[in-house]
Amino acid sequence: GDVRSAIHKIGAAEIEVHFGAQVRAPQNLPLPGIKHIVAIASGKGGVGKSTVAANLAIALTLEGAHVGLLDADIYGPSQAQMFGSQGSKLMVDDQKRMVPLERYGIKLISMANIVPPGQAMVWRGPILHGTIKQFLQEVAWGDLDYLIIDLPPGTGDVQLSLSQLTRLSGGLIVTTPQDVARIDAERAVDMFKRVQVNILGVIENMSYFEQNGHKTYIFGQGGGRKMAEQYKTAFLGEIPIALSVREGGDSGVPVVVGAPQSPEAEAFRQAARNLAGQLSMHSYLLLPMA
Ligand code: ADP
């Protein structure tokens, strides 16, 4: 409003104000044109890691950032379904690089668009490493503020390859509030620590069910926050359990796009802003590699 009236005073009739994200980059970029690489992990499957990755990635674009999403959950890639791009084939550009699909403003690469669904893959170490390398270096990602990586649950082999091939801005842990889930999530924390990737924060998913303005903490309250305190990292937010989140994932229209006014979409957007804030702070601290 202030900007508008100030500009009107100097004689402009029609103005349009565009807000963009000014994303601060670390001193050394992890890959040409890419400012931040963030890996999203969980200790086990089913806690909503892929759902969180998809909604966070889109939420970051809604803040004005350029975002890529790499579905590196090679054992159970689900991002193609979340983005409704199961049938799409990846193209190759004139430099023989894979061209990501574009959905909801995001550049998306999923294993599901490379290997036919249902085809069993045997991932021997060198093949896995080569595939991750290709995903990073032989994809026409273009200029990105954030490359979000959806990791496979549990195992540490993709983390290991990533840490050898590039420098992550950090890892993010998705957990549910129960103690059992947190014990599993600690494994994900350990795997990042072992490869010297710092933890940017914890997101708690399926935190509560909200009805008529009343929140019921089905699986107990405060587990994710406790975990963040224990690891001296940021607590990025609580995501409610909601039908719209599940339906959004199944139908290929994630809730931040499909029901943008809903409290659950707002929870994802707030978590994305918190993540961006953490990255901005960490950019000051990320020193060039020796
Ligand atoms: P993971 O990647 O950890 O294996 P997914 O993201 O595939 O988990 O989620 C598992 C299932 O739970 C999916 O059907 C998804 O739609 C659902 N789900 C995830 N988060 C929520 C939520 N906050 N509310 C409702 N359903 C959810």
* Per-position pLDDT tens, the chain of length 290: 666 666 667 666 666 655 567 888 887 889 999 999 999 999 988 999 999 999 999 999 999 999 999 999 888 889 999 999 988 889 999 999 999 999 999 999 998 888 766 666 777 888 889 999 999 999 999 999 999 999 998 778 899 999 999 999 999 999 999 877 788 888 899 999 999 999 999 999 999 999 988 999 988 899 999 999 999 999 999 999 999 999 999 999 999 999 999 999 999 999 999 999 999 887 766 544 43
The answer to whether residues 244 and 284 touch, using CB atoms and an 8 Å cutoff, is no
Residue with CA closest to ligand 1 atom 13: 246
Give the type of residue at 80. A
Residue with CA closest to ligand 1 atom 27: 246
* Alpha-helix runs per DSSP H in the chain: 2-9, 49-62, 79-82, 125-137, 157-165, 179-194, 223-230, 243-251, 255-258, 263-285
44, 50, 51, 215: which to mutate for ligand 1, most atoms within 8 A of CB?
51
3-state secondary structure at position 205:
strand
Token reading at 41: 């992990």
The answer to whether residues 176 and 223 touch, using CB atoms and an 8 Å cutoff, is yes
Residue with CA closest to ligand 1 atom 19: 48
